[in-house]
């Protein structure tokens, strides 16, 4: 089985159509949860989750001295809001999950094949 | 078994390449392995065919030899050992590793090649990689030949091909015809690639097999998607081109221009089939660029002579094509048609505006030369022919241009079809 990273990209700032009211947020969450249940039932889901915002990130660089700075690694208009690691037979199967993830979250999803898989290999 | 020349070998390789690679990809699921094995089989053929003669079924020989070669490689490699184990567990796959039956059903093989086209045209590959890889794998063009067609260096093209193959393997791009839901999104790339394969075979008699291959792929695609107007458009376009092939060169193999062609040499059966496909494509409210190009060819095919061509309709079709596909080459072809309704002066003005884009394209200078000739400006026409001759890639084109330039010098008076006024 091959593994793919599906990363969900969110645009910084206020975006039209994004959930604002508690009801909208509830509907959004239940769609995402339903998708995760489908991924799990299909045996595709390895691991995944939503991330706190990029302002909560800390960047560590190891050189002569260990340097720790705040903020996201890359300043940009987009940040990774969450991700899934999935098993899929081939790229088309991974793209299919990505399309469903994009539909559930309303965000673009980048699909990347793992070059080598670590201990999470199922 | 007869002795065999280098040209004959090259032609046999071209015919066998797409089928052999496609079959090997199906069996082994690995584009790079398939291509290497086919390359090895060609090297073996080069050693043995001149000595022993060409086998009765050259393509079958190439596929069988390549398959045996790939089995050897798979057995030897570590990665391959796992593959062999998988194949041992899967009885269906193991059957396929046996040397190929030379009488393998064409239907299965045809499907292999269409699957390979869609593999090469997967949306996660960049468009220029899609086209290059298909020309390499299906059409068997060398990296050097593809590089020349794209006006890039051979090293750049080699890198492009390697990257495309790496992506296919790393991302696990599947080797299959897309599902019905995916098909429309992946269709445009496949159509473009099939048309480029046709064109790669159009200028060179040694590559005539590519034209037949492109027509066959277009027919396969239509069987798969009978309701898609652009598929009808592409099939019509290649059929109508093929229909006029015999008129395009004379007994000595020299190129004959459309205006001078003997229309009785055109193939009426292919024209009828092409025109049926055009009508089907034009029933769609927004015909695509293949349907419009085919419609232009259909108007030419319907005309009893060059003078009786419905040029006004052709210019209108070019206008629609230009608004859909605003490329300099489309603008150039529109200008050439415009000369027939608005005169060569109007056409020349449009052409000259395209110089920054098309200065390196021989047909652009040939078109300008033709217009200047009709305006009686022989000296300027001769210079334009010189430039076209210097740029012409195919020997046949070059010879035609030389003849036209020579005719210009023999008859310095104004040509008969000079514009009114």
pLDDT of residue A18 exceeding 50:
yes
Higher pLDDT, B420 or B195: B195
Mean pLDDT, residues B43-53 taken together: 88
pLDDT of residue B379: 93
Which chain B positions have a beta carbon within 8 Å of A115's beta carbon? 170
Burial B138-155 (b: 16+ CB within 10 A, else e): bbbbebebbbebeeeeee
Distance in angstroms (rounded) separating the CA atoms of residues B167 and B294: 34
Segment (H or E) for A62? strand A58-62
Q: What is the DSSP string of B115-158?
A: HHHHHHT-TTS-HHHHHHHHHHHTT---HHHHHHHHTS-HHHHH
Tell me which of A4, A113, A114, A117 to substitute to probe the interface with B (most B C-beta atoms closer than 10 Å): A113
Nearest residue in B to A2, CA atom: B172
Which chain B positions have a beta carbon within 8 Å of A2's beta carbon? 172
Residue contact B172–A113, C-beta within 8 A: yes
Those residues with Cβ within 8 angstroms of residue B137's Cβ, 6 or more apart along the chain or in another chain: B17, B18, B21, B22, B31, B35, B116, B120
Nearest residue in A to B122, CA atom: A92
Residue contact A92–B170, C-beta within 8 A: no
Question: Which residues face A45 on adjacent strands?
Answer: A86
Alpha carbons within 13 A on the beta-carbon side of B221: 33
Which chain A positions have a beta carbon within 8 Å of B178's beta carbon? 92
pLDDT of residue B322: 96
B89, with CB counted inside 10 A (0-12, 13-18, 19+), is: exposed
Nearest residue in B to A96, CA atom: B182
pLDDT of residue B365 exceeding 50:
yes
pLDDT of residue B243: 94
Mean pLDDT, residues B383-403 taken together: 86
Which chain B positions have a beta carbon within 8 Å of A1's beta carbon? none
Distance in angstroms (rounded) separating the CA atoms of residues B281 and B239: 14
Question: What's the DSSP call for residue B306?
Answer: S
Cα–chain-centroid distance for residue B287? 22
Strands A45-50 and A78-88: antiparallel
**Angle between helix B344-353 and B328-342 (nearest 10):** 160
Of A88, A111, A115, Cβ closest to residue B170: A115
**In degrees, to the nearest 5, what angle opens at C-alpha A91 toward C-alphas A87 and A93?**
60
pLDDT of residue B88: 53
pLDDT of residue A52 exceeding 60:
yes
Which chain B positions have a beta carbon within 8 Å of A113's beta carbon? 170-172
pLDDT of residue B147: 84
Q: What are the DSSP E strand ranges found in B138-262?
A: none
Distance in angstroms (rounded) separating the CA atoms of residues B352 and B338: 14
Residue contact B171–A113, C-beta within 8 A: yes
Higher pLDDT, A121 or B390: B390
Of A91, A113, A115, Cβ closest to residue B174: A91
ipTM: 0.76
pLDDT of residue B349: 95
Percentage of residues of chain A with pLDDT beyond 70: 89
Q: What pLDDT digit, counting tens, does each position of B61-96 carry?
A: 999 999 999 998 888 876 656 666 665 555 444 334
Average pLDDT, chain B: 84
**Model confidence at A69, in pLDDT bands (50, 70, 90)?**
confident
Distance in angstroms (rounded) separating the CA atoms of residues B32 and B43: 17
Residue contact B170–A89, C-beta within 8 A: no
Mean pLDDT, residues B181-194 taken together: 85
Higher pLDDT, A104 or B421: A104
Distance in angstroms (rounded) separating the CA atoms of residues B173 and B81: 22
Higher pLDDT, B168 or B205: B168
pLDDT of residue B9: 77
Q: What pLDDT digit, counting tens, does each position of B226-266 carry?
A: 889 999 999 999 999 999 988 888 887 778 888 889 999 99
Tell me which of A6, A91, A112 to substitute to probe the interface with B (most B C-beta atoms closer than 10 Å): A91
Nearest residue in B to A3, CA atom: B171
Residue listed under structure tokens 């059966």: B269
Q: What pLDDT digit, counting tens, does each position of B114-132 carry?
A: 899 899 999 889 888 888 8
Residue contact A91–B182, C-beta within 8 A: no
pLDDT of residue B97: 39
Which chain B positions have a beta carbon within 8 Å of A89's beta carbon? 172, 174
Phi-psi region of A56 (alpha: psi -120 to 50; beta: other; left: phi over 0): alpha
């Amino acid at each position: 089985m091959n593994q793919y990273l599906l990363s969900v990209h969110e645009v910084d700032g206020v975006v039209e159509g994004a959930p604002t009211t508690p009801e909208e947020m509830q509907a959004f969450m239940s769609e995402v949860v339903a998708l995760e249940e489908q991924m799990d039932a299909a045996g595709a889901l390895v691991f995944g989750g939503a991330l706190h915002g990029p302002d909560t990130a800390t960047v560590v660089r190891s050189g002569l001295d260990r340097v720790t700075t705040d903020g996201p690694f890359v300043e940009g208009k987009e940040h990774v809001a969450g991700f899934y690691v999935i098993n899929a037979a081939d790229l088309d199967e991974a793209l299919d999950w990505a399309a469903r993830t994009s539909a559930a979250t309303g965000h673009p999803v980048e699909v990347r094949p793992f070059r080598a898989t670590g201990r999470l290999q199922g | 078994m007869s002795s065999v020349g280098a040209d004959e070998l090259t032609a046999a390789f071209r015919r066998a390449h797409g089928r052999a690679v496609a079959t090997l990809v199906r069996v082994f699921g690995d584009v790079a392995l398939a291509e290497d094995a086919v390359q090895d089989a060609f090297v073996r053929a080069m050693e043995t065919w001149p000595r022993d003669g060409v086998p009765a079924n050259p393509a079958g020989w190439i596929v069988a030899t390549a398959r045996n070669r790939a089995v050897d490689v798979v057995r030897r490699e570590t990665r391959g050992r796992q593959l062999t184990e998988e194949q041992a567990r899967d009885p269906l796959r193991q059957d396929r590793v046996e040397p190929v039956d030379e009488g393998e059903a064409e239907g299965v093989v045809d499907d292999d090649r269409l699957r390979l086209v869609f593999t090469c045209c997967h949306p996660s590959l960049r468009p220029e990689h899609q086209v290059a890889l298909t020309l390499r794998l299906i059409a068997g063009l060398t990296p050097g030949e593809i590089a020349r067609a794209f006006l890039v260096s051979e090293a750049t093209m080699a890198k492009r091909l390697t990257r495309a193959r790496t992506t296919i393997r790393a991302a696990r791009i599947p080797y299959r015809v897309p599902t019905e839901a995916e098909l429309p999104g992946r269709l445009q790339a496949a159509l473009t690639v099939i048309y480029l394969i046709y064109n790669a075979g159009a200028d060179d008699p040694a590559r005539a097999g590519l034209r037949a291959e492109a027509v066959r792929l277009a027919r396969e695609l239509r069987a798969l998607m009978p309701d898609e107007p652009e598929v009808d458009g592409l099939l019509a376009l290649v059929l109508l081109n093929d229909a006029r092939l015999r008129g395009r060169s004379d007994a000595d193999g020299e190129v004959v221009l459309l205006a001078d062609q003997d229309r009785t040499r055109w193939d009426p059966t292919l024209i009828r089939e092409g025109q049926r496909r055009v009508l089907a494509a034009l029933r769609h409210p927004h015909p695509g660029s293949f349907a419009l190009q085919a419609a232009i060819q259909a108007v030419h095919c319907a005309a009893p002579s060059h003078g009786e061509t419905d040029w006004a309709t052709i210019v209108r079709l070019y206008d629609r094509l230009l608004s859909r596909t605003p490329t300099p080459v489309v603008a150039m072809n529109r200008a050439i048609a415009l000369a027939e309704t608005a005169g060569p002066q109007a056409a020349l003005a449009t052409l000259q505006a395209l110089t920054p884009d098309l200065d390196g394209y021989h047909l652009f200078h040939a078109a300008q030369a033709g217009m200047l000739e009709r305006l009686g400006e022989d000296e300027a026409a001769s210079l334009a022919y010189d430039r076209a001759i210097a740029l012409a890639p195919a020997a046949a084109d070059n010879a035609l241009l030389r003849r036209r330039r020579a005719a210009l010098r023999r008859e310095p008076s104004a040509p008969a079809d000079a514009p009114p006024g």
